[in-house]
Structure 1
Amino acid sequence: MTASKEEVLDRQVDGRPAPLLEARHLTRVFGHGKTAVRAVDDVSFTLGRQEVVTIVGESGSGKSTLARMVLRLLDPTSGTIHLDGRDVTRLRGKALRTYWQEVQAVFQDPFSSFNQFFTVRRLLRRSLRLTGATTDEAGEALIAQALEHVGLTPAEVLDKWPHQLSGGQRQRVMIARALMLRPRLLVADEATSMLDASLRANILNVLTDARQAYDMTILFITHDIGQACYVSDRVLVMCQGKLVEQGPVDEVIFSPRHDYTRRLLADVPRLHAVS
């Protein structure tokens, strides 16, 4: 059973509200014996209500594997995941489908996430079954509200096929589909990496605005520490499956403690004044 917002806020840990999500000692091993690879190695972290937390690291650091475990698309080899204090690590069946309503995702490639034989209208209407909308009018209102939030109009996209949309429009539709379910946690896994630079900041603004509008926590996954600086309250830095540094964004960016974090920051482009 999902706890009410009042029950969640009443829970205290060391005098503070309990986290929305807590990952404890998550480990994921692929393969066996000498060929085994520890993609995620004993990682623990929390996500607070309405926080934007970014996991940053290079390709192969384990960040996407960690995101898939949080989404319950991949079982951890060991460790646990707790949502509002409930252990959700081994959910199956109806309980897992309920979890997927509370925890939604926006992936790197929206094109592969859509059924190419469905119009946008049909794609979004199929998601309405999880929203509890009882009438067509209520469902259409949810669709229009979500599209408006991401900067699209129903007339602009609903009767189009996915291939007729631009990359930015497809990503916005993907975000709208997630927002319709009013999730408590949105996991955005490299959600801007396939977009032109001119579109990235716009999509990042859409996501961060949704935090307030939908009372939502965001877990943002990226290889770009510059984007982490732009959107985050806190940053978690992963390297070779391990969490090597974490803290408030200003602390991590301006006073990094780990050499790997310093290397990531050194790769961020800087603008220099021209004399």
Structure 2
Amino acid sequence: MLKLDNVTKVYRTGAFGGGSTTAVGGVSFEVGPGEVVSLIGESGSGKSTLGRMILGLTPVTSGSITWNGTAVRPAKSYYREVQGVFQDPFSTFNPVFKADRVFRMIKEVYFPEVPPAEWAERVRASLADVRLNPAQILGKFPHQLSGGQLQRLLIARALLLDIKLLVADEITSMLDASTRIDVLNLLAELKGRGLGVLYITHDLSLGTYLAERTIVLRRGTVAEMGPTETVFTGPKHPYTRELLAAVPRLREPWQEAEPIESCLYHDKAGTGGLLEVEPGHYVACARLAGCAG
């Protein structure tokens, strides 16, 4: 379905564009139908840049992103199958319009031929899928709704298009704990219907909740990726170990991760600096990633 092959993004810097900064460097992975892939990393690791490139909002400098074998290009046909939901739902809505405007815009662009009564039923069904009551939502302005309600509205908008892939970029970071679980359970339900999800987050605990596979990103490159349980129970890369060691534990003092004395993968890593240490579990050369060791 979605495939990234050696994707790189370089930004020009300086007053006259004479410098450059590599935000993403040589990233490759896939997301299949009905699969949740968690993309984890600290702020500035390139997670959101990858999400924007997948959605066609930021051009790729080199490498390729393909959807069902075809190069990704911003087009109506592509957005009928691939949509994104972002961190701050309040910034997505125009505060001077009521919430139902997002559905009117979808109809005008994608379904102008659908009769009003049929469209109203589609909207009602879509809202029911995300556990929202149309009577309590559609006539209100964005500021009258909670962050969780707005996030679910955006997911309902995507469902109206019968999408195949959702890029969920930090969609729970601004929500309270109970609402986060509601949104994650909703994603789990949609996953069961065959929806693929790229779940972008810096929160390790949330990243493990749904994902079959996990990709750990550091400084724009893949440090480690593989089955979620394998990566979290047997991390190999020092950066992954540092992330796990930084997770607070009740009544336990914080302890810094023990650095490795040398990179076990430096001379063995293959293309892209990744070594398959066990089936489906890949680890980057720590030296190439800039880690101590």
Match of 1:28 in 2: 9
The Cα offsets for residues 81-119 of structure 1, whole Å up to 9 and x where unpaired, read as 11111122xx35xxx121112110110011110121221
Alignment of 1:65-104 (within 5 A): 65-88=49-72, 91=73, 96-104=75-83
Alignment of 1:1-275 (within 5 A): 20-31=1-12, 35-88=19-72, 91=73, 96-132=75-111, 134-213=114-193, 215-271=194-250
Structure with the larger RCO, 1 or 2 (CA within 8 Å, 6+ apart): 1
- The separation in 2 between residues aligned to 1:179 and 1:263, in whole angstroms, is 37
SS at match of 2:118: helix
- The separation in 2 between residues aligned to 1:53 and 1:128, in whole angstroms, is 30
In structure 2, the gaps of 5 or more residues are 253-293
SS at match of 1:261: helix
- The separation in 2 between residues aligned to 1:267 and 1:176, in whole angstroms, is 35
- The separation in 2 between residues aligned to 1:73 and 1:181, in whole angstroms, is 19
Match of 2:270 in 1: none
**What letter matches 1:182 in structure 2?**
D
Scaled by the length of structure 1, the TM-score of the pair is 0.86
Note the C-alpha offset of 1:229.
Answer: 0.7
Scaled by the length of structure 2, the TM-score of the pair is 0.81
Question: Do the aligned partners of residues 125 and 258 (structure 1) sit closer, same or farther apart at CA in structure 2, a change above 3 Å counting?
Answer: same
Is 257-266 or 64-73 further displaced after alignment?
257-266
Q: Identity rate of aligned residues, in percent? A: 46
Note the C-alpha offset of 1:144.
Answer: 1.0
- The separation in 2 between residues aligned to 1:98 and 1:141, in whole angstroms, is 23
**What letter matches 1:264 in structure 2?**
L
Q: Kindly name which structure, 1 or 2, has the bigger radius of gyration based on alpha carbons.
A: 2
Contact 1:21 1:83 in 2 (8 A): yes
SS at match of 1:75: coil
**What letter matches 2:144 in structure 1?**
Q
In structure 1, the gaps of 5 or more residues are 1-19
